[in-house]
Structure 1
Amino acid sequence: MYGAPSAYLIYYASEQVSFEGNLKTFKRDAIIADGPTHHLCNNCGSTVFTDVGWTKEALGLDIRAIPYGVFENPDFDAPEIAVWNRYLPGWLESSAPADCTMEEQPETLAEFRETAVQFGIL
């Protein structure tokens, strides 16, 4: 949904994110649970934020993902975790540490929970 070989997303609890104005929405299916709902700019169609959806069932948390480019702060830290990056082009390096890289999307919510614990998310 981001139109690029990768996306740099910042994750927040849903209650930490508010927005004023009109947005269009697009809901996708997911492999293992409730799919994401993308909230798009009414004017240009860029993703403003995404309600991740399946995190409530997997982690007990409602999560919103905000693309890095939405922020006007060039001083964000480099990503700490890289996920679902099996198909990244060889020329695109991840800045995440090798032990915080997940090649494949988990096939079950239990696998996702295990990975979240491994990466220190839970």
Structure 2
Amino acid sequence: MKIRAASCACGQLRLSCEGEPVSVSLCHCLECQRRTGSTYGIAAFFPRSKISISGVFSDYSRPSDSGYAVMHHFCPGCGSTVFWEPTRKPDVVAVAVGAFADPAFPAPTKSVYREHRHPWVAAPE
């Protein structure tokens, strides 16, 4: 079974994800824009049972546009948000696709909160 490795920018916080993601989603919500400093965020969702975490992380909880809390986990050294837990989906963990630093990572298959999409950003159909 394939193992994918994700980490923060400094390498202190690492995740090992077994198998393929359940889904990969491109999110245009304003909170993802703020979290990433970009025009969207991209998350790979893995079953909680298929994730191993090593290193120290800090937490930040915020409400989502859907009204459910999202607990973000980031490296206290470099500040990279590596993974988060959406309370409305307790069986999965979302991992920032950029944390894999893998150009061959599977592309997003869906796009959410398109009403906040910057018009010059292409999105999967």
Alignment TM-score, normalising by the size of structure 1: 0.68
> CA contact under 8 A between 1:24 and 1:40: conserved in structure 2?
yes
| Aligned pair partner of 1:86 in 102, 110, 115 | 115
The count of residues paired between Structure 1 and Structure 2 equals 91
Instruction: Provide Cα deviations, 1:46-81, integer angstroms capped at 9, x if missing partner.
Output: 11100111113xxxxx22111111003210122111
Structure with the larger strand share: 2
Name 2:64's counterpart in structure 1: 30
Letter in 1 for 2:84: T
User: Is it true that 1:71 corresponds to 2:100 in the alignment?
Assistant: yes
Identity rate, percent:
25
SS at 2:45 equivalent = strand
Instruction: Provide Cα deviations, 1:1-36, integer angstroms capped at 9, x if missing partner.
Output: 222211111111112111111101001123545311
Higher relative contact order (CA 8 A, sep 6+): 2
Alignment TM-score, normalising by the size of structure 2: 0.66
Q: Which runs of 5+ in 2 are unaligned?
A: 1-34
> CA contact under 8 A between 1:5 and 1:89: conserved in structure 2?
yes
Structure with the larger helix share: 1
Letter in 2 for 1:11: F
User: Which of these two proteins has the greater Rg computed from alpha carbons?
Assistant: 1
User: Is it true that 1:39 corresponds to 2:68 in the alignment?
Assistant: no
